[in-house]
Amino acid sequence: MTNIHIAPYRPEWQPYFEKFNKAWIEKHFVLEAIDNYVLTHPEEAILKDGGEILFALHNQTVIGAVALKKIDNATMELTKMAVDEAFHGLGAGTKLCKSALEKAKELEVKKLVLYTQSALKPALSIYKKFGFQQIPMEQGIYKRADTKMELNIK
């Protein structure tokens, strides 16, 4: 993780946000309409309402991204976290998650939620490491998600 640093969204990095997330989703699932919208229009879907997108860079190369989507004044969704497969194993996912939590605290968010799939053991491991707890999931958010987790931020 020593050569990985986190940087805020830059419009010229949108193609990486889209590419990494599409590759990850299509490897495991089917891309949904909401995914296409968020990935091709992140400034409108995430940023305009007060959300954030962070990027992981390794030796100045963009290798991963994560988004914080504002739900309300107290809650954000941790979403669209993906790392270029060529850079798996360097700790970028952990660093992205940690940086997203730090950004949420900075924004005075009280709670983070996320939606995931129980078969994705490495992702679940990262979330649990940071204190996310599984909670009951409502219907109709994402077709591929079968697990909802939340973290109360102090």
Give the contacts of 50 (CB within 8 A, at least 6 positions apart).
Answer: 70, 107
CA distance 69 to 73: 11
CATH number of 4-152: 3.40.630.30
CA distance 33 to 15: 17
How do strand 75-83 and strand 111-116 relate by DSSP bridges? parallel
Query: Residues 32-70, buried b or exposed e (16+ Cβ, 10 A)?
Result: eeebeebbeebeebbbeeebbbbbbbbeeebbbbbbbbb
Query: For the residues 22-40, what does the mean pLDDT come to?
Result: 93
pLDDT, tens digit (0-9, with 9 covering 90-100), for 72-107 = 999 999 999 999 999 999 999 999 999 999 999 999
- Residue 1 confidence (pLDDT): 46
pTM greater than 0.85: yes
pLDDT band, very low/low/confident/very high, at 2 (cuts 50, 70, 90): low
